[in-house]
A and B are shown apart, each in its own frame.
Chain A
Amino acid sequence: MIFRFWYFIRETFVSLWRNLSLTLAAILTVAISLALVGSSLLIREGADQATAQFQEGVEFIVFMNADALENQNEGIRKVLDTSPAIKEYVYVDKFAAYEEFRELFVDKPELVESVTPEIMPPSYRIVPSDPDADNVMELARQFSEQPGVKEVATATEAIRQIEDFSTRVSQALLLAAIVLVAVSAVLILNTVFTAISGRKTEIEVMKLVGATNWFIRIPFMLEGTIHGLMGAGLAVPALFVVDNKVLAYFQKSEAVPLFRGFAVPDGFVWNTSIWILVIGAAIGMIGSAFAVTRYLDV
């Protein structure tokens, strides 16, 4: 078995070297497309994290004092339940708030250490009947004057715009990425096909001396898989650049304090990287599998 292993490795790399220019083109295309896939995932995750509290139509959040009295809460709830201006709301108690905080800052344990459920402000996440900005501001002002209310946070127009923007950017990136992934699979197919054509005699001899079909196919499939993996390998550092530069840029945003949360958990970039490598290998395997089944009639 070990002899075969070295045979496959040798044949694969000889072939990669022979088709160097096509190989490089294939690897770079894979790298670019997977870098875009990864960036799209990072931006979407960042936006989700930053706007986690303002999802599903929630336009403003009423934060109560951590030590708000029960009758103060009653008062707020009564308004919320009866006012026609309120479509629906969710109450987040201090324990739920603490859980959410822990999830949001899972990679910053020292921050999590510093809080307890006791000091977390309970809050009401409110979906107004009319999401118009002026209306929301007016409602927010009214609630902020209620006893026991610490502050009211609104999803301002700025947040909405940035949210839309990040969604659009990540969708555009994803679309471009999908097209490029398809292009790179075709490019790998083409490279492997060229490798196959360059070794017609070799393959003919192999068939006639009784090499099994898989034995003939494996070096070509390995070649495609290596294209995919190397491309993915180049895309991974790009993800860290996106995390350190692009997302960091959002985090420094002075305009919208909430966007300081525009970050992904540390593990997320690594997890995405693993996915990128898996996708890269899969693109390579699929491309080369097409090539060997179509052109290698063994």
Chain B
Amino acid sequence: MIRFETVTKTYKGEVVALREASAEIQRGEFVFLVGPSGSGKSTFIRLINREEVPDAGKILVAGKDVSSLSSWKVPYLRRNIGYVFQDYKLLPKKTVTENVAFALEVIGRPRPIIKRQVPAILELVGLSRKADRLPEELSGGEQQRVSIARAFVNRPLILLADEPTGNLDPATSVGIMRLLDRINRSGTTVVMATHDRGIVDTMRRRVIELDRGILVRDESRGVYE
């Protein structure tokens, strides 16, 4: 599903974010990206959905070389990739339903489909009863659920999450991880960058560790260390 072939990415020609990283992630896998701040986790994620372009090496996503993808095709790549942020990035003036529907509207999905899919996904994330609330009326965990609903409503092949529990307390984080696990079990490949030792150690999924841009560890059913 995702393949990195000796990928190198430097910023402004000096800061090395990723050095000759190679990894292969299969369809339906759940992968934790761990490592200290500045180790290249975010860059790894941003390379997958073509927010960044590598300086050297090749990145294949769903069989396509995204490093050489022409820019007008990028939006179509991203329609297959859901993205969850640490700070949710919900639109403050839109309700829960509208925030989720927005992701479908802006890729031109017809209204009947939106009307069917949005309630279904809100049901999945457990927010049906808060469909008409504004983000500011929700707790952090609930806001993150909305963000996950928005990322998943289009049923992407891949879900990328950059520190999705970074702003949440441990109890709430468990709920979010259950949700991501459920999404993963439906066949979606999940790549999640995290600092959260507890989560990684409990879940026992594949762990890729980065240190100053170098991929230092890649084990299935790993722990944080």
Contact = CB atoms under 8 A, between A and B. Distances in A.
Interface of A: 3-4, 7, 201-202, 204-213, 215-216
A204 B91 CA distance: 11
A209 B105 CA distance: 10
A205 to B, nearest CB: 6
B67 interface: no
A204 B90 CA distance: 11
Given A3-B111, A212-B75, A205 B154 contact: no
B72 A213 contact: yes
Chain B interface extent, by class = 20 to 34
A147 B150 CA distance: 96
A209 B91 contact: no
A216 B72 CA distance: 13
Nearest to A201: B89
Given A208-B49, A209-B106, A216-B106, 13 more contacts: A3-B105, A7-B105, A204-B89, A205-B102, A208-B51, A209-B151, A209-B154, A210-B75, A210-B76, A210-B79, A211-B106, A212-B72, A213-B75
Interface of B: 49, 51, 71-72, 75-81, 83, 89, 91, 102-103, 105-111, 150-151, 154
Contacts of B106: 7, 206, 209, 211, 215-216
Ranked nearest first, the 9 interchain pairs of A and B with the lowest CB-CB distance are A210-B79, A210-B78, A211-B106, A209-B103, A210-B75, A212-B75, A208-B83, A206-B106, A3-B111
Contacts of A202: 91
A80 to B, nearest CB: 71
Contact of A3 (B78, B79, B110): B110
**Max chain B CB contacts within 10 Å: which of A208, A212, A215?**
A208
Contacts of B102: 205, 209
Contact of B78 (A7, A201, A207, A215): A207
